[in-house]
């Protein structure tokens, strides 16, 4: 009878950090066709997110709509593995932003959207209506 064989997973292949200009940093960039770039100065906003999360994408569109410099940190899909987010914000859900300009650390997409609009908004909506996720969710 055939049995399932457990194979170890190389976590480095699933981890990626993204700078504010969305350039991926990977262990072997030449193997995945992406380049590494060193940033001179860290952006003031750090954005903890999950790949494919609609709530995170809403915050991403707003950050880009306001042309804010930020650094993305992709987190592990499993809640129990999100210790870095827990240390920063006290929760394991994403999205989470840390704004060094104002000293604010915030979780929950609706709160983040309200904060970005009130702090960096110019009175106009940066996001067009009907662009996807409904505010108020966390992954």
**Predicted local distance difference test score (pLDDT) of residue 83:** 92
70 burial type by CB count under 10 A (0-12 exposed, 13-18 middle, 19+ buried) = buried
**Predicted local distance difference test score (pLDDT) of residue 17:** 45
Give the integer Cα–Cα distance in Å for 52 and 44: 24
User: What are the pLDDT tens digits along the chain (139 aa)?
Assistant: 455 555 554 444 444 444 444 444 444 444 333 333 445 578 999 999 999 999 999 999 999 999 999 999 999 999 889 999 999 999 999 999 999 999 999 999 999 999 999 999 875 554 444 444 444 566 6
**Predicted local distance difference test score (pLDDT) of residue 136:** 55
**Predicted local distance difference test score (pLDDT) of residue 5:** 52
**Predicted local distance difference test score (pLDDT) of residue 93:** 94
- The structural domains of the chain, ordered by start, are 12-120 (3.40.30.10)
Label the pairing between strands 17-18 and 70-74: antiparallel
Half-sphere exposure of 46 (CA within 13 A, CB side): 16
**Predicted local distance difference test score (pLDDT) of residue 11:** 46
Label the pairing between strands 24-25 and 45-49: unpaired
């Amino acid at each position: 009878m055939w049995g399932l064989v457990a194979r170890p997973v190389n976590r480095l292949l699933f981890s990626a950090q993204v700078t504010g200009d969305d350039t991926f940093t990977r262990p072997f960039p030449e193997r995945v066709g992406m380049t590494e770039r060193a940033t001179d100065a860290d952006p003031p906003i750090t954005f903890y997110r999950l790949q494919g999360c609609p709530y995170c994408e809403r915050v991403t569109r707003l950050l880009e709509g306001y042309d804010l410099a930020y650094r993305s940190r992709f987190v592990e899909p499993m809640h129990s593995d999100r210790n870095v987010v827990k240390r920063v914000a006290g929760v394991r859900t994403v999205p989470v932003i840390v704004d060094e300009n104002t000293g604010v650390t915030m979780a929950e997409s609706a709160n983040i959207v309200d904060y970005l609009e009130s702090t960096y908004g110019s009175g106009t909506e940066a996001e067009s209506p009907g662009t996807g996720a409904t505010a108020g969710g966390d992954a």
